[in-house]
A and B are shown apart, each in its own frame.
Chain A
Amino acid sequence: MASGHAEHPGNPALVTAEDVTKDLLGKHEGTSNNFWRVASVFGILLILGIIGFVMRLSDGVSDTAVWGYYAAMFAFILTTAQSAPMVAIAPRIAKAHWRRPISRVAELWTVVGLFNLLLFIPMLWILPPLSDGRRSLWFYFDGGDVPSYSPHIWSTLAILGLVVIGVALLWMSALPDFAMVRDHAPDGWKKRWATRLARGWIGSSAQWNMQKHRLGILGAFYFMMLIFVHFLISVDFLITLVPGWVDSLFPITHAANGLQAGVATVLLTIWALYKFGGYKDYIAFDQIWALGKLLFALSLLWFWFWFSSFNIFWYGGKPEEQAIIELLMSGPYRWAFFGVFFFNFLFPMWTMMWNPLRRSTWGPPIIAASVLIGTFLDRIRLYVSAYSIDGIGNPAINKHVVVEIPETIYPSLADIFIMLGALGGMVFIFLMATRLIPIVNIWEQRELKLYEIHKTFHRTVVKVLGKPD
């Protein structure tokens, strides 16, 4: 490598596929005390969250305003953890080799979908039925009665489908790794589970072929389902609650935000693995750099989507549009909006333009953290403000304009507990999942050994990357 601008994985001890397997399995087997310390912190946060939820529940579900922060946390996990697997799916379809060490990290986040599925259940009680006559996705042309619980039913099915596909994707991708754990790990619960989950994987070419195709199909389905869930959640659980908010771009903005935050989630996770997890031989500059560039592009996209909506509302200037601008941007949640604008767009743009920062292993993770903070504020700004509108579920409410902009709702103690619990639960479940499933994809790493060769080309050393069909 003539222009070595940063370190590359090149541990001389990891030349053959066997070395890699041994090393990664060894890392998977051992669990340090530090791991348990960190995990217990997040576990405690999760318990706090449960306490917060019980406190919240004691207020009942009839007043939507108090549930705003809860809804925001549900949306936050949808936007981060459940969108993160795209980082594995898209580059795998594009056959990009840099994804190999990090695709498992991205896929592992699908497990958190199970947690979010639990969080979703109360949302069904909070969302009022359509019998209040508000605008909804489930319109009938002839003005006939709309089934009142359409949003509840379809959203549940969609999110259930997303979680199932996600777990199936993770399992399909982990099959060969389970077999490796089964064959090589010392006796213990990991080996027992791996044996059960490997389902008799012996690595025949038929199995590999089947796995490759199913991964492709499941990935494509996950992507489509993810976009669809973002669409349903953003419309049924957000837009319809705000009278007069007609924003055809918003479902895509919601999903694009998901991609942005999903990349940020994975970036931050792999940075932690790089820095503290002992995976420096696998995860390095290439991965952080690739995700950093992606994050930069998605941050610019954030601005474009936001401006596309804002410009139309600002120019239209109809009363309902002015109300939307005030409710979501300039009004009671201005602090959150400016935060989003800064953390999701300004800060990433102004920093990622600089080569020394973009081409480093420390720059992109900072940007990722910034994007996650921004996304957190964004979900609060959107969901808390929408859920606090007076008269949700009341048939007498004005359906065409937000008449009275609600006051800012600051989080109560229960809300703070819920927020901490959601974040804690998210990380805790992820950490637990890493105990069962190797966090670096062993078979993809072994496959890379076949397709990536460093060789001398006259007076320089080049990397040769094979692209199989």
Chain B
Amino acid sequence: MQDHIQLDQKQINDDLLAGVLGMPKWWLPAVLFLTLVVFAGLGSFGYMMNKGLGVTGLNRPVMWGFFIVNFVFWIGISHAGIMISAILRLTQAEWRRPVTRAAEVMTVFSLMAALHTPLFHVGRPWREMWVFPYDFARGVWPNVRSPFVWDPSAVGTYLIASSLFVFIALIPDLAVIRDRAVNPLVKKIYGTMCLGWRGTPRQWKLQAVAGILLSALVLPVFVSVHSIVSWDFAVLIGVEGWHSTIFAPYFIIGAIHSGVSAVAMLMALSVWLWGLDKYLRPDHFDAIGRLLIVVATTWFFFFFLEWVFALYTLEGVEISLRELQVFQWPYGMLFLIFLATAFFIPVPMWMFKSVRRSAFWMFFTTLLVNVGMWLERFLIIIPGLVRRQPFTFDWGTYHPSIIEILIVAETFAFVALGMLLFSKFFPLIPIFDIKEGMVVRDEIKIGRRIVPATIRE
């Protein structure tokens, strides 16, 4: 990082805990607004439970709509946390330091948001517990051959794992809050949460080992989660376009694409909302921009392969599905928007250093990516179902109802609300990690040039 600012520990504490120990003016109104949206969504859910799924736009043959699109979308976003923090930790990338916590927390909240939608979608959510093997009385056990049983096991594992990951990395920072808090009750609460952290060499060493070990363990879970979500679609042979072997990696790389983009958005928001521009430097945006070029290009290659092999079959039904996706209203328009926003606008823009180093442009381009990736899921799920099959006796097309739109809005508000509440109680940038970055920073003088350097053990 060339434009680095060296800060002392007190300054770091003050900056990064400003949102925790104080309260920004906009915080309360924002939280109130988001709470309102969440309640509107929950209200619609209550109404839907009462009236039945008929109040949604779902109808034969399109039985998977906005809910499932949204489920896949949020699972995708949730992949950013582990992607950023685990991979960058394992590769010892210095620029990870201010980014990891926010990304991990976003993982947790977006996973919760993802869990909402299938729960709502099943119509009788109280029966959802049948995926767990608890029915000792009647001897009816879940069918492990169904991907819908794999889903909760994978998402549950991932949620538990990422929550624990966040907690472990939070302990040293909780101790910082404990030491700063004025109110004795608050002090007591944080003191309990940080489990009596003192900062001995043993504790720091374990913290470092834990970061690496947990990263290595969470990474395989992260890969499995979206693979399993993709198999909800891909193991089926009934719907054209779904039964493709590339689905698992394709979903993963798409998830990384949208997730890393979401992290970039979060970084820009942190700079604007909390004024953390001393910690999130243009270099950080530059690094994530470079990463995104690689991710987006890889994603595009997978997208290309998926298409090539659909056309390769030369089977009429498959090709007519692709025609529906590309040439028929409204999917054709959505397809164009999807391609433009997910790849063709942002990637050429990221080629320019000035775009990569600007918080505004990174926010703008990554927002586009997320619009595009949401549409991608829509275009995978809906056209496949809309298509007329030989034995389809009833078909309509799909229009989301206001209930579905409200519930989708609720998931977005839920994640935003979660992040805001978290930021009120815990620092969104890992304090100890930033401090460590300051300690291990060094420079090497070569002739007239000073090269930034890092101390490695």
Total contacts A to B, CB within 8 angstroms? 110
**B456: chain A residues within 8 A (beta carbon):** 462-465
B222 to chain A, nearest CB (A): 11
Which of B122-130, B237-245, B424-432 is found at the contact surface with chain A? Answer: B237-245
Choice from B220, B305, B311 contacting A252 with Cβ under 8 Å: B305
Which of A39-47, A68-76, A154-162, A300-308 is found at the contact surface with chain B? Answer: A300-308
**A2: chain B residues within 8 A (beta carbon):** 457
Which of B63-71, B401-409, B446-454 is found at the contact surface with chain A? Answer: B446-454
Q: A451: CB under 8 A from chain B?
A: yes
Q: A246: CB under 8 A from chain B?
A: yes
| Given known A-B contacts A466-B452, A468-B451, A300 and B243 have beta carbons under 8 A apart | no
CB interface residues, B 242-259, toward A, < 8 Å = 243-249
Choice from B236, B301, B454, B455 contacting A457 with Cβ under 8 Å: B455
CB interface residues, B 370-414, toward A, < 8 Å = none
Q: A318: CB under 8 A from chain B?
A: yes
Give A97's nearest chain B residue, CB to CB.
B456
> Contact: B302 with A252, CB < 8 Å?
yes
Q: How far is the CA of A463 from the CA of B444 in the complex (A)?
A: 12
> Contact: B451 with A466, CB < 8 Å?
yes
| Given known A-B contacts A248-B305, A465-B454, A466-B452, A312 and B444 have beta carbons under 8 A apart | no
Q: A32: CB under 8 A from chain B?
A: no
A355 to chain B, nearest CB (A): 11
Q: B99: CB under 8 A from chain A?
A: no
Q: Total interface residues on A, using CB and 8 Å?
A: 42
In the A-B complex, the 9 residue pairs with the closest CB atoms: A248-B309, A315-B235, A248-B246, A466-B451, A308-B248, A466-B453, A249-B245, A466-B444, A249-B246
Give A317's nearest chain B residue, CB to CB.
B237
Q: How far is the CA of A227 from the CA of B297 in the complex (A)?
A: 12
Q: How far is the CA of A82 from the CA of B246 in the complex (A)?
A: 24
Q: B190: CB under 8 A from chain A?
A: no
**A141: chain B residues within 8 A (beta carbon):** 311, 319
> Contact: A3 with B457, CB < 8 Å?
yes
Between B223, B244, B446, the greatest number of chain A beta carbons within 10 A of the residue's beta carbon is seen for B244
Q: A394: CB under 8 A from chain B?
A: no
**B455: chain A residues within 8 A (beta carbon):** 457, 462-464
Q: How far is the CA of A38 from the CA of B3 in the complex (A)?
A: 53
| Given known A-B contacts A252-B302, A467-B453, A247 and B444 have beta carbons under 8 A apart | no
Q: A309: CB under 8 A from chain B?
A: yes
Known interface pairs A308-B247, A315-B235, A453-B444; 14 further A-B residue pairs with C-beta atoms within 8 A, sorted by A's residue number: A141-B311, A141-B319, A231-B305, A248-B245, A248-B309, A249-B249, A312-B245, A315-B237, A316-B237, A451-B453, A463-B457, A464-B453, A466-B453, A467-B452
Q: A121: CB under 8 A from chain B?
A: no
**A468: chain B residues within 8 A (beta carbon):** 451
> Contact: B243 with A312, CB < 8 Å?
yes
Q: B140: CB under 8 A from chain A?
A: no
Q: A202: CB under 8 A from chain B?
A: no
Q: A343: CB under 8 A from chain B?
A: no
Q: How far is the CA of A19 from the CA of B216 in the complex (A)?
A: 40
B80 to chain A, nearest CB (A): 19
> Contact: B308 with A316, CB < 8 Å?
no
| Given known A-B contacts A135-B313, A464-B442, A248 and B235 have beta carbons under 8 A apart | no
Q: B234: CB under 8 A from chain A?
A: yes
**B136: chain A residues within 8 A (beta carbon):** none
Choice from A1, A250, A318, A457 contacting B245 with Cβ under 8 Å: A250
| Given known A-B contacts A137-B312, A469-B2, A316 and B453 have beta carbons under 8 A apart | no
A352 to chain B, nearest CB (A): 11
Question: Interface digits, B281-320 against A, CB 8 Å rule (1 contact, 0 not)?
Answer: 0000000000000000000011001101111111000010
Q: How far is the CA of A231 from the CA of B301 in the complex (A)?
A: 11
> Contact: A311 with B235, CB < 8 Å?
yes
> Contact: A139 with B311, CB < 8 Å?
yes
Q: How far is the CA of A141 from the CA of B323 in the complex (A)?
A: 11
Choice from B94, B227, B313 contacting A304 with Cβ under 8 Å: B227
Choice from A139, A309, A465 contacting B312 with Cβ under 8 Å: A139
> Contact: A248 with B244, CB < 8 Å?
yes
Q: A251: CB under 8 A from chain B?
A: yes
**B446: chain A residues within 8 A (beta carbon):** 450, 466
> Contact: A464 with B454, CB < 8 Å?
yes
**A311: chain B residues within 8 A (beta carbon):** 231, 235
**A313: chain B residues within 8 A (beta carbon):** 245
A sample of 24 cross-chain residue pairs with beta-carbon separation below 8 angstroms, ordered by A number, consists of A141-B311, A141-B319, A227-B301, A248-B244, A248-B308, A249-B249, A252-B302, A300-B220, A304-B227, A308-B227, A308-B245, A308-B247, A312-B234, A315-B236, A316-B243, A451-B451, A462-B455, A463-B457, A464-B444, A464-B454, A464-B456, A465-B453, A466-B444, A466-B451
Q: How far is the CA of A141 from the CA of B318 in the complex (A)?
A: 12
Choice from B91, B237, B444, B457 contacting A450 with Cβ under 8 Å: B444
**B2: chain A residues within 8 A (beta carbon):** 469
> Contact: A137 with B308, CB < 8 Å?
yes
B296 to chain A, nearest CB (A): 14
CB interface residues, B 177-202, toward A, < 8 Å = none
**B245: chain A residues within 8 A (beta carbon):** 247-250, 308-309, 312-313
Q: How far is the CA of A468 from the CA of B1 in the complex (A)?
A: 9
> Contact: B451 with A467, CB < 8 Å?
yes
Q: How far is the CA of A233 from the CA of B313 in the complex (A)?
A: 18
**A466: chain B residues within 8 A (beta carbon):** 443-444, 446, 451-453
